[in-house]
Amino acid sequence: MKRTKIRELLKQPALDTEVLVKGWVRTRRGNRNISFIALNDGSTIKNIQVVAETSNFDENLMKDITTGSCIAVKGKLVRSQGQGQSVEITASHIEIYGKCDAETYPLQKKGHSMEFLREIAHLRPRTNTFGAVLRLRHAMAFAIHKYYNDKGFFYLHTPIITGSDAEGAGEMFHVTTFDLAKVPLDKNGNPDYSLDFFGKPANLTVSGQLEGELGALALGEIYTFGPTFRAENSNTPRHLAEFWMIEPEMAFYDINDNMDLAEDFIKYLVSYALENCADDLEFLNSMIDKGLIERLRFVVDNEFVRITYTEAVKILSGSGRKWEFPVGWGRDIQAEHERYLVEEHFRKPVILTDYPKEIKAFYMKQNDDGKTVAAMDVLFPGIGEIIGGSQREENYDKLLARIREMNLPEKDLWWYLETRKFGTAPHSGFGLGFARLMLFITGMSNIRDVVPFPRTPKNAEF
Ligand code: 4AD
Ligand code: MG
């Protein structure tokens, strides 16, 4: 007999038929004569109730049906007499796959703290909360591919190991096969990378953008969706050392086209979650964040505010607030400022554009004012920056001048510069942090809790 997933069972219950289900016991209650077992198989947040009459089963077998144990149940699907479920299974056969010791199983009780659950990341997918988060993660990953595929974008696989620093921020993990206890040195006492695996310094990518641009300047519209790495020592609820990023890159898009795409893309993803993941969202809405579904709807239904950095600085300076980080033209916009704009001033997602060139990456298109670049950051409630992007500098001379001005390694970027020599084109793109998106979609408050196995400073367990 074939196993039926609980999700399928509940979708179209074939009453009075024999079914086989397999899963993990969430709870068991009852008395000497009868047991009610709540079984979950991960296919849905919902459990199926299994009713087992004690007299039909071996006494020892019944003893081993405890919270956390894994069982297979054969029985008849019937309309439920009890409250809280429409159907249940009257068990005729039960097999135990894996016992679960009640004394030592860490997930006995409900209501464990998120901090505690992080320490048992190998088991937390079995909780309702993490089950919901992980199913939503899957749904979003699928929706991302669907969105771009439907629009005719091509999925480009950019390298994970690179020889360049896409953001020019120097926050990279090195990749080497050197024995760190005896690194070969050159005559100046520096590591002799000519002897290393790649014959030059290499690192884990911080962004697929630069290679993404090469794709856009050939295929027109591409996107990447892959892991990126940042060796920044940021211990915040919004930063990971390893996270996935979605980076569309489009030929012939200016900054306005880029903003339109970013807004449409996020709205599509939020709508997709609302339409396809209602059970999990309702659970998170009731248990984690009472305002979640309302906030998701709000984002879909309202236009994002679009203002320039210069306008934002005026609003922030005139707010009468005391800031931890001072506000002023030329200074970076900090998380506290982003959240003020989004959560208090506008009460809507905000797209900030045209930042001073000094605080943005080298590749951004220089505006005619000589001071700002065609950057765009999308700021979200509860999160701050969720997307960073820009129109790219397509002019060879201007790009080269900026690379030199910023003392970036011109010779490592020869291939990037050549695209501006051979058939350059106006183009734009952005990066959406997948984990930050998941924070918004799930209402979870710490980025460590929307990633199955988070990587943060001093933590690479599991
Ligand atoms: O703003 P960032 O650094 O932009 C880029 O990397 C560009 N190359 C993207 C592009 O134009 N193709 O990062 C983009 C997004 C941020 O807005 C944020 O959502 C996320 O990536 N992000 C992080 N997410 C989790 N942990 C971190 N340490 C993150 N750093 C950036
Ligand atoms: Mg950014």
**Would you say residue 446 has pLDDT above 90?**
yes
Please give the number of the atom of ligand 1 that sits closest to the Cα of 249: 12
Q: What is the pLDDT of residue 84?
A: 80
Ligand nearest to the CA of 207: 1
Ligand 2 centroid – CA 202 distance (Å):
23
Q: Full-prediction pTM beyond 0.85?
A: yes
**Would you say residue 169 has pLDDT above 80?**
no
Asked if 250 and 257 count as a contact pair (C-beta separation under 8 A), the reply is yes
Asked if 208 and 245 count as a contact pair (C-beta separation under 8 A), the reply is yes
pLDDT confidence band for 83 (50 / 70 / 90): confident
Token digits of residue 423: 């058939």
Asked if 173 and 203 count as a contact pair (C-beta separation under 8 A), the reply is yes
pLDDT confidence band for 12 (50 / 70 / 90): confident
Average pLDDT taken over every residue of the chain: 96
Ligand 2 centroid – CA 168 distance (Å):
12
Please give the number of the atom of ligand 1 that sits closest to the Cα of 385: 17
**Would you say residue 145 has pLDDT above 90?**
yes
Alpha-carbon separation of residue 330 from 37, 308, 360, 372, 384 (angstroms) = 62, 13, 11, 10, 19
Ligand 2 centroid – CA 327 distance (Å):
18
Q: What is the pLDDT of residue 32?
A: 92
Burial 376-406 (b: 16+ CB within 10 A, else e): bbbbbbbbbbbbbbbbbbbeeeebbebbeee
Q: What is the pLDDT of residue 92?
A: 98
Choose among 355, 374, 352: nearest CA to 365: 374
- Assign residue 206 a region: left if phi > 0, alpha if psi is -120 to 50, beta otherwise? alpha
Asked if 273 and 140 count as a contact pair (C-beta separation under 8 A), the reply is yes
Q: What is the percent of the chain with per-residue pLDDT over 90, rounded to a whole number? A: 94
Token digits of residue 133: 């988060």
**Would you say residue 153 has pLDDT above 90?**
yes
- Alpha carbon nearest to ligand 1 atom 2, residue: 388
Averaged pLDDT, 123-145:
98
Neighbours of ion ligand 2 (CB under 5 A): 388
Angle, helices 292-301 vs 278-287, to 10°: value is 120
Token digits of residue 75: 């029985």
**Would you say residue 174 has pLDDT above 90?**
yes
Q: What is the pLDDT of residue 165?
A: 77
Please give the number of the atom of ligand 1 that sits closest to the Cα of 377: 17
DSSP state of 459: B
pLDDT confidence band for 368 (50 / 70 / 90): very high
- Alpha carbon nearest to ligand 1 atom 1, residue: 388
pLDDT confidence band for 58 (50 / 70 / 90): very high
Q: What is the pLDDT of residue 109?
A: 72
**Would you say residue 168 has pLDDT above 80?**
no
Please give the number of the atom of ligand 1 that sits closest to the Cα of 169: 3
- Alpha carbon nearest to ligand 1 atom 9, residue: 431
Residues framing ligand 1 (Cβ under 6 A) = 166-167, 207, 209, 230, 239-240, 243, 245, 247, 385-389, 429-431, 433, 435-436
Please give the number of the atom of ligand 1 that sits closest to the Cα of 210: 8
Q: What is the percent of the chain with per-residue pLDDT over 70, rounded to a whole number? A: 100
Residue by residue, DSSP assigns 235-294 as -STT--SEEEEEEEEEET--HHHHHHHHHHHHHHHHHHHHHH-HHHHHHHHHHT-TTHHH
Residue by residue, DSSP assigns 358-419 as GGS-TTBPBPTTSSEEEEEEEEETTTEEEEEEEEB---HHHHHHHHHHTT--GGGGHHHHHT
pLDDT in tens, 335-362: 999 999 999 999 999 999 999 999 999 9
Burial 94-107 (b: 16+ CB within 10 A, else e): bebeeebeeeeeeb
- Alpha carbon nearest to ligand 1 atom 27, residue: 239
Ligand 1 centroid – CA 308 distance (Å):
20
Ligand 1 centroid – CA 5 distance (Å):
37
Ligand nearest to the CA of 248: 1
pLDDT confidence band for 81 (50 / 70 / 90): confident
SS3 at position 437: helix
Report CA Rg, the chain: 27
Please give the number of the atom of ligand 1 that sits closest to the Cα of 206: 6
Ligand 2 centroid – CA 111 distance (Å):
35
Q: What is the pLDDT of residue 13?
A: 87
DSSP state of 329: T
Ligand 2 centroid – CA 113 distance (Å):
31
